[in-house]
């Protein structure tokens, strides 16, 4: 099986700006997915979600995205920025999701990098 480095091959999808929200067209790709919430070390809902982790295709299409740098607890304003971008151009569709680029076991929370991505429909 060929190993593909998506961060290099699809830079526009995995190396977004932390300064501005942009619209991108994301092709259908397979992802390791988890639908959960809560603290990874203490939440029963999160533990249940981990048990139901799956690998499947996701068709996103047109999305708005930005890079959030910092702890997960401070993502709110970044997510709001994405929503404002979409609301001024069209409407939100699909699920908001996050792509974690940092190994949180090794990096300080102030350096965590997370792509905030939300599918959208442009009007």
Instruction: Give the chain's domains with CATH numbers.
Output: 6-27+60-122 (3.20.80.10)
Position with higher pLDDT, 90 vs 8: 90
pLDDT at site 5: 83
Provide the sign of the torsion angle of the four alpha carbons 28, 32, 108, 68, taken in this order.
positive
pTM of the complete model: 0.80
Please say if the pLDDT value at position 81 is more than 80. Answer: yes
Give CA–CA dist 123/114, Å, rounded.
27
pLDDT tens track for 18-65:
999 999 999 998 888 887 776 767 778 777 877 888 899 988 999 999
């Amino acid at each position: 099986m060929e190993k593909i480095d998506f961060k290099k091959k699809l830079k526009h999808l995995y190396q977004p700006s932390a300064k501005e929200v942009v619209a991108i067209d994301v092709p259908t790709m397979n992802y390791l997915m988890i639908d959960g919430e809560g603290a990874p070390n203490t939440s029963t809902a999160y533990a249940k979600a981990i048990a139901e982790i799956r690998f499947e295709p996701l068709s996103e299409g047109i999305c708005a995205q930005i890079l959030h740098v910092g702890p997960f607890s401070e993502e709110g304003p970044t997510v709001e920025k994405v929503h404002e971008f979409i609301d001024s151009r069209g409407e939100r569709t699909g699920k908001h999701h996050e792509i974690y680029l940092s190994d949180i076991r090794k990096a300080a929370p102030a350096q965590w990098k997370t792509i905030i991505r939300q599918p959208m429909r442009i009007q």
